[in-house]
Amino acid sequence: MTSPYQSLQHTEAVARFELLSVDEYDVALDLASDETTFRSVTTVRFESRGGPTFADLKPLRVNEIRLNGRRIDPDLLERGRLPLETEAGANELVVDAVMPFRNDGEGLHRSTDPADGKQYVYGMNFMDAAPTVYACFDQPDLKAPYTFHVTAPADWTVVGNAPATNPEPGRWELETTQPLSTYFVTLVAGPYHVIRDEHDGIPLGLSARASIASALDADADELFTITRQCFDEFHRLFGIRYPFGAYHQAFVPEFNAGAMENPGCVTFRDPLVFTSRVTRGMRIQRASTVAHEMAHQWFGNIVTPKWWDDLWLNESFAEYMGNRVTADVTEYDDMWVENAYARRQWGLYADQRPTTHPVAGNGAVDASAALQDFDGISYAKGSSVLKQLNAALGDDVFFAGAIDHFTRHRFGNASMHDLFDSWERAGAGDLSDFTTNWLRTAGPDTIELDREAGLIRRTPPAEHPADRKHTFRVALASDGKWRTEPVTITGAETPFDAASDAVVLDPYEDSWAVVLPDARTLAELKTLLPAVEDDGVRAGIWNGVRSGFHNAAVSPADVVDLVVASPPVESTEDTKRRLGSWLLSDVLPLAPAGSLERVHAAALDKVGSLPAGSEHQLSGLRMAISTATSSEVLRGWLDATPEGIELDLDLRWRILVRLAALGATDRAELDAALAVEPTAVSRVEHMRAIVSLPTPEAKAHAWDVFTGRLDVPNYELEAAGLGMWRGGQEELTAPYVDRYFEELPATVQVRSGWVLADATDFFFPSTSISESTLERARALAADPVLDLSVRRRLADCADDLARLLAVRAAYPTS
């Protein structure tokens, strides 16, 4: 089945840009009259050369459409496109329509906080969601100023891209913005708790739901401090002041991404307001996200890519600059170590898949295809490549080129060629080799030590040959003592005498490559790893082990041995990008019998050996909970946690979810837990727990979420998918393997955009590690009729499964 809407083709965007220039948008929204819909009246004033084109519009119904005063038949609207016959010169389009409030994190998202019943709205117009909020020419290079007029319930506050006034209860008038792309436009409206401050003449704001006001108050000083530090550093580096007036950071419910860089009003997922205790890793992640979105105010907002194939000009730069500035000027000077754990493998996995693409010029034929390229390549690899370029050019040339780029294209659009022209004008010299090998050619080189031959070998991917130079540090251990040496790799083989040392290649992420540990090093690490004091070396060791496992060069048993020797309590956050979740989802299902119990025992020992109240102690307890097989042990923690750890909401639900997966609780107990503390976090974790139960009813409930028979917000959709497929429950889930492939194509009728692709991933039958499942996945992913974003995500899931099967074949456990 195909989507009910057409995705904008690049060729169409080029033609429309050549025909039109947009002067201004004036948008009036009534958010007060209904809880499921809102009225949107858009006036677009634009210049045209004259002739046919179309506007983008995705309403529930149309009240009236007028072009230059003449009425247009609403029935002409088809698959989100409104055909227009423009006049040469000035034109005015007025669209009066009724739009849907959405619950999938796109368009104008409206949610009800289960803690107090209050309702909140925010706009996320990224990629192709803007036409569900207002009529527009939805492409990044048709920028224009916006003026918004908003009617809202009297107790709501409205924040947008420009400062707002509230002349009377329920009425908000926003100032006219600087020229913006359609996808930057946002509104954040509701009974939000708002905190205001000021720095260097810039009004600052924070907001979050009323039910988490105390948590925002507790975090406000840290958030404002990071914001001030980052503004000062960006102003120092770029010499160009932030130009969008106020800077508001809104933490909003059920947000799909980590954050969105809307000028004047950045939106963040509100779990980044910490209502339970978190590790340092999460605080670093939040700080770098704040810095990342601030970097976008220059890279993306002052100058915006002309088309989505240059999206890396947004994300790679914001990733690099956000990491760098966080490390340089905030309290989180260990940012690069955290980045190694959180982002490195995300990018390397993506770059090794059949769906890999170049960092730049990724061939985005339409907006839907481009959305799938917002991945680890555009973020992690692009950041790494820019880090290398900065090291080669030096700060003076690197930032002189950036400043020239911002100045020449201020409030406009530009391409990669424009940026590289700016760097060459700044003195970078000819960058064509760098562009060809690092930005235009997909895939990573593989670098490994051949100890017997006394060589380091570099192997480019066969499908994407390139001649890349790598300069990085190598960590070597002799008699338990570590040292580093610089190495430059310029060809297929580079002499390197490792003697008898343990060797870790590129532990500090100086280059971008798949680095694999040699067998001798791997064996020695089981003794050496517990004593490694350099956090960068430790991160490099784990990334090498992960790359080795991903390429069937390291066995599950070896991974378990390393975990038991030194549990990775520094990286236990709940995402497959991190060590803890990777261990549970990929390694342990293929490991020898008894491995789960060994890891659990090691985690318990770690908890007992760490200082009470330390963050690593908390991480160790999380690992112990996720690997527990005894309901008595888990219930013991519900009664009394180890000294230094409080049983907060997060830990309570972790224990309940694990009890559910073990079949050691029931729906009644889980419902009661939700009733005691009915927060947004509880609602999501309650969904995760009830679908984790080993019962037919639990799996049927999850499936109703997948098919759309049960409509839930996006966070609950994710929880339902990830909770459904539990190891040890294969007999219960077996019927759903075939149903997944049979029913996946129809999901395009119940969801779209970001969530459509995500649900493909969330509900993939991850516990069915079999050749037949792989064959089904590859066959469906090759179906040209299937929605493109679904095909892409399904192909990635198939590649992950193929790699697990390769590990099983290389290291059978029986």
Please check whether residue 439 lies inside any domain of the structure.
no
Please check whether residue 304 lies inside any domain of the structure.
no
Question: With the C-alpha atoms ordered 771, 775, 776, 780, is the resulting torsion angle positive or negative?
Answer: positive
Which pLDDT value is given to residue 6?
A: 86
Please check whether residue 239 lies inside any domain of the structure.
yes
Which pLDDT value is given to residue 363?
A: 64
189, 204 in Cβ contact below 8 A? Answer: no
Identify the H or E element spanning 562. helix 556-565
pLDDT at 197 over 90: yes
What is the rounded CA–CA span in Å between residue 405 and residue 427? 14
Please check whether residue 202 lies inside any domain of the structure.
yes
Please check whether residue 709 lies inside any domain of the structure.
yes
| Residue 638, domain CATH | 1.25.50.20
Cα 793 to chain centroid, rounded: 14
| Residue 86, domain CATH | 2.60.40.1730
- At 391-411, the pLDDT tens digits run 999 999 999 999 999 999 999
Question: With the C-alpha atoms ordered 616, 620, 625, 627, is the resulting torsion angle positive or negative?
Answer: positive
Q: What is the average per-residue pLDDT within 480-502?
A: 92
pLDDT at 53 over 90: yes
How does residue 373 score in pLDDT terms, banded at 50, 70 and 90? Answer: confident
- At 412-468, the pLDDT tens digits run 999 999 999 999 999 999 999 999 999 999 999 999 999 999 999 999 999 999 999
End position of a domain, from candidates 282, 305, 324 = 282
Please check whether residue 447 lies inside any domain of the structure.
no
Q: What is the average per-residue pLDDT within 600-610?
A: 97
Total domains present in the chain: 2
Which pLDDT value is given to residue 806?
A: 98
Which pLDDT value is given to residue 360?
A: 86
Please check whether residue 99 lies inside any domain of the structure.
yes
End position of a domain, from candidates 231, 262, 282 = 282
Per residue in 640-661, is it b (16+ CB within 10 Å) or e — as a string? ebbeebeeebbbbbbbbbbbbb
Q: Among this protein's residues, is 463 annotated catalytic?
A: no
- At 669-707, the pLDDT tens digits run 999 999 999 999 999 999 999 999 999 999 999 999 999
Q: Which of 23, 220, 14, 209 minimizes the C-alpha distance to 122?
A: 209
Residue of 106, 254, 261, 293 with catalytic role:
293
End-to-end CA distance of the chain: 43
pLDDT at 720 over 80: yes
Q: What is the average per-residue pLDDT within 10-30?
A: 97
Which pLDDT value is given to residue 313?
A: 81
Which pLDDT value is given to residue 575?
A: 67
Q: Which of 377, 316, 372 minimizes the C-alpha distance to 350?
A: 377
- At 530-547, the pLDDT tens digits run 999 999 999 999 999 999
End position of a domain, from candidates 282, 301, 329 = 282
SS (H, E, C) 237-257: HHCCCCCCCCEEEEEECCCCC
Please check whether residue 529 lies inside any domain of the structure.
yes
pLDDT at 74 over 60: yes
Of 161-165, 360-364, 746-750, give the lowest mean pLDDT range.
360-364
pLDDT at 799 over 90: yes
- At 221-240, the pLDDT tens digits run 999 999 999 999 999 999 99
pLDDT at 321 over 70: yes
pLDDT at 1 over 60: no
pLDDT at 367 over 80: no
Identify the H or E element spanning 188. strand 187-190
Residue-range definition of the domain harbouring residue 608? 503-810
What is the rounded CA–CA span in Å between residue 277 and residue 202? 31
183, 140 in Cβ contact below 8 A? Answer: yes
Q: What is the average per-residue pLDDT within 472-482?
A: 93
pTM assigned to the model = 0.96
Q: What percentage of the chain has pLDDT greater than the value 90?
A: 92
- At 619-654, the pLDDT tens digits run 999 999 999 999 999 999 999 999 999 999 999 999
